[in-house]
């Protein structure tokens, strides 16, 4: 059976309208589809209905504004829209617990809501990141509990979401979509859906398990590569050479149809995906008796970077004759990623904790992060302005390289900070010219691997 209407544009319901659901919903509606975003969070739905955007993603508020009143994007806390939809996308959260095991509760609750509402011809697309086999062995039986049979009555596929924060809307219009169904008809229908809906390449794979592992492999590679960059940075620190110079040279080597592509070192790895997906992979392998030692190592390397950061800051302050206890450190940028306000699992939190543990006085400024969230996470009252944060500082620790921090007027800041003052570069990757300028102005400079 084919799981897509021939004669008209398919109607879409997206269950879980958080970061991924909202970005996807907007992209589909902008392509002209009728989309309903379903989320159990009434506050979120009320905000979206009011035209307020809770997600700091470039272009998203403007797109939501453009779609307002068109009827192409609606929101609900209830599941009524399921009956009218052709395609149902599941994009709820799949966190890990304190034991690092995948928590599938949100997914299970959604399936329980969907099962009695499914009708013949529905195509269900799972986008949430899951363990290999979860689409077939967890989602399918829960949906079939409603009485319909997957493959005969409704289609089921896994299509991982691979967008990266900060570029989500453009990536949704470009990235190829990986499609792996529980049966060939589901796969073909979903492939056609994505091609029609987003006009992007959709690549068919032989099973939902392949598609599930593709997602995990991507994030495994990224985490692994960042760990390599972080270890390389520590090596470069020991030899007093600039890691960015080394990476530039190393990446010029052609390899495997592309080039060596070492990513950038930083204060650490945070966010919602890289801190959990490798553990989902690790646990899935362990359940099959396979121990993935690279994941253990990579996670340990990346988790150690916040400590490396605050210990390096303390050591540099001491080297400049300033006791880190009582020194003022202005932390500029608290998000886990440049140019986002996302504080989820940000590595800046353990840096701030480490600095405060040695008695440093920490001020915090992040123009993109929500001040209330920042206050509650860090236990520090955030500064309202850059000037307030840096006044009297012995160190300016740029820990997220947001655009405004790339344009800092260090000559003007020099008048406000203490002397000597260290600029610590955790993720801004200042050019050699900027570093030269900093030195000329009398600042000390230190970066991760620089
Ligand atoms: N954030 C990213 O950059 C990213 C990228 C790729 C993949 N993913 C994956 O996509 C999935 C979603 O991630 P996210 O960042 O959008 O999470 P999120 O927490 O921002 O959004 C999940 C939403 O689901 C809603 N929800 C939970 N249970 C529900 C239910 N029973 N019914 C209706 N709504 C319900 C929540 O209220 C929330 O708004 C996760 O599996 C994640 O690993 C995330």
Q: Does the C-beta of 108 come closer than 6 Å to ligand 1?
A: no
Give the pLDDT score at 55.
82
| 76: CB partners within 8 A, 6+ apart | 36, 37, 38, 45
Question: 34: Cβ below 6 Å to ligand 1?
Answer: no
| Residue of minimum CA distance from atom 38 in ligand 1 | 18
Ligand 1 contact via 48 beta carbon (within 6 Å): no
**Strand, coil or helix: what is 141?**
helix
Ligand 1 pocket test target in 88, 93, 217 with most atoms within 8 Å of CB: 93
Query: Which protein residue's CA is at the shortest distance from atom 13 of ligand 1?
Result: 93
Give CA–CA dist 291/286, Å, rounded. 6
Picking from 256, 340, 363, 297, the residue whose alpha carbon sits closest to that of residue 60 is: 340
Domain locations in the chain as residue ranges: 12-207, 237-450
Nearest CA to ligand 1 atom 19: 93
* Residue ID of nearest Cα to ligand 1 atom 26: 16
Backbone angles phi, psi at 20, to 5 degrees: -65, -50
Which pLDDT does position 18 carry in this prediction?
94
Q: How far apart are CA 211 and CA 189, in angstroms?
A: 15
Say if residues 405 and 378 touch (Cβ distance below 8 Å): no
Nearest alpha carbon to residue 38 among 69, 56, 11: 11
Specify the residue with its C-alpha closest to ligand 1, atom 15.
19
Atom from ligand 1 closest to the CA of residue 273: 43
Q: Whose CA is nearest to atom 11 of ligand 1?
A: 128
Across the chain, which has 450 residues, the per-10-residue mean pLDDT values are: 83 96 97 97 94 84 94 96 96 96 98 97 98 98 98 98 92 96 97 94 97 98 98 98 98 97 98 96 98 98 98 97 97 95 95 98 96 96 98 98 96 97 97 97 97
Q: Does domain 12-207 have CATH number 3.40.50.720?
A: yes
- Residue 93: the pLDDT is 97
**121 membership: H or E segment, kind and range:** none
Atom of ligand 1 at shortest range from CA of 164: 3
Please give the pLDDT value at position 108: 98
Q: How far apart, in whole angstroms, are the C-alpha atoms of residue 158 and residue 149?
A: 17
The alpha carbon of 16 and the centre of ligand 1 are apart by a number of angstroms equal to: 6
- Longest Cα separation, the chain: 75
Cα of first residue to Cα of last residue in the chain, in angstroms, is 59
Closest CA relative to residue 273, chosen from 220, 351, 309: 220
What sign results for the dihedral spanned by CA atoms 414, 416, 421, 425? negative
Would the CATH topology of 12-207 be identical to that of 237-450?
yes
Residue 18 Cβ contacting ligand 1 at under 6 Å: yes
Residue with tokens 């790895």: 269
Please work out whether the CB of residue 128 comes within 6 Å of at least one atom of ligand 1: yes
Prior bond of 287 cis (ω within 30°):
no
Instruction: Give the Å distances, CA to CA, from 200 to 10, 15, 28.
Output: 16, 22, 12
Residue 61: per-residue pLDDT = 92
Query: Can you give the pLDDT at residue 57?
Result: 86
Q: Are 335 and 346 in contact (CB under 8 A)?
A: yes
CATH topology of domain 237-450: Rossmann fold (3.40.50)
Q: How far is the centre of ligand 1, averaged over its atoms, from the C-alpha of 92 (Å)?
A: 4
Can you read off the two tokens belonging to residue 217? 């492999």
Cβ atoms of 348 and 364 closer than 8 Å: no
Q: Distance from the CA of 125 to the center of ligand 1, in angstroms?
A: 14
Token pair in block for residue 69: 């009143």
Question: Which pLDDT score is estimated for 58?
Answer: 86
C-beta separation of 85 from 11 below 8 A:
yes
CA 256 to chain centre: 27
Instruction: Report the distance separating Cα 349 and Cα 35, nearest Å.
Output: 37
- Between the alpha carbon of residue 244 and those of residues 236, 253, 269, 304, 430, the distances in Å are 9, 15, 18, 20, 10
Contact 36 CB / ligand 1 (< 6 Å): no
- Test site for ligand 1: of 13, 15, 17, 19, most ligand atoms within 8 A of the Cβ: 19
- Going from the Cα of 18 to the center of ligand 1, the distance in angstroms, rounded, reads 5
- CA–CA gap between residue 209 and residue 50 (Å, rounded): 39
Residue 301 phi/psi, 5-degree rounding, is -60, -50
Mutate to test the pocket of ligand 1, among 15, 16, 162 (most ligand atoms within 8 A of CB): 16
């Amino acid at each position: 059976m084919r799981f897509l209407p021939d004669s008209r544009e398919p109607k879409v319901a997206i269950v879980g309208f958080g970061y991924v659901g909202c970005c996807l919903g907007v992209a589909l509606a902008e392509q002209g589809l009728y989309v309903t975003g379903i989320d159990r969070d009434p506050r979120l739905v009320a905000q979206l209905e009011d035209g307020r955007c809770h997600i700091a993603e470039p272009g998203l508020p403007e797109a939501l504004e453009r779609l307002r009143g068109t009827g192409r994007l609606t929101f609900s806390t209830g599941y009524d829209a399921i009956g009218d939809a052709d395609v149902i996308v599941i994009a709820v959260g799949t966190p890990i617990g304190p034991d690092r095991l995948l928590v599938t509760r949100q997914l299970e609750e959604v399936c329980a809501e969907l099962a009695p509402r499914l009708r013949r011809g529905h195509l269900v697309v799972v986008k949430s990141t899951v363990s290999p086999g979860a689409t077939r062995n967890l989602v399918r039986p829960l949906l079939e509990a409603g009485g319909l049979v997957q493959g005969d009555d409704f289609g089921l596929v896994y299509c991982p979401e691979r967008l990266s924060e900060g570029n989500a809307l453009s990536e949704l219009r470009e990235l190829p979509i990986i499609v792996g169904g529980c049966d060939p008809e589901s796969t073909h229908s979903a492939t056609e859906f994505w091609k029609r809906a987003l006009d992007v390449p959709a690549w068919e794979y032989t099973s939902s398990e392949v598609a599930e592992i593709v997602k995990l492999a991507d994030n495994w590679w990224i985490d692994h590569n960042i760990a390599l960059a972080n270890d390389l940075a520590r090596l470069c620190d020991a030899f007093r050479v600039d890691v960015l110079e080394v990476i530039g040279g190393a990446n010029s080597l052609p390899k495997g149809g592309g080039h060596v592509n070492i990513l950038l070192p930083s204060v650490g790895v945070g966010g919602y995906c890289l801190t959990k997906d490798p553990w989902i992979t690790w646990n899935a392998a362990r359940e099959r008796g396979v121990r993935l030692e690279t994941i253990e190592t990579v996670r340990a390397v990346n988790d150690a970077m916040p400590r490396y950061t605050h210990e390096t800051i303390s050591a540099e302050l001491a080297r400049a004759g300033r006791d880190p206890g009582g020194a003022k450190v202005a932390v500029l940028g608290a998000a886990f990623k440049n140019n986002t306000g996302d504080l989820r699992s940000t590595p800046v939190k353990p840096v701030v904790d480490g600095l405060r543990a040695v008695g440093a006085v920490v001020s915090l400024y992040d123009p993109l992060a929500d001040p209330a969230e920042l206050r509650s996470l860090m236990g520090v009252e955030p500064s309202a302005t850059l000037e307030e944060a840096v006044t009297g500082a012995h160190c300016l620790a740029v820990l997220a390289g947001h655009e405004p921090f790339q344009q800092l007027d260090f000559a003007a800041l020099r008048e406000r900070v203490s002397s000597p003052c260290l600029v610590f570069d955790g993720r801004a990757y200042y050019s050699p010219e900027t570093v030269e300028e900093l030195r000329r102005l009398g600042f000390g400079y230190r970066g991760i691997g620089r």
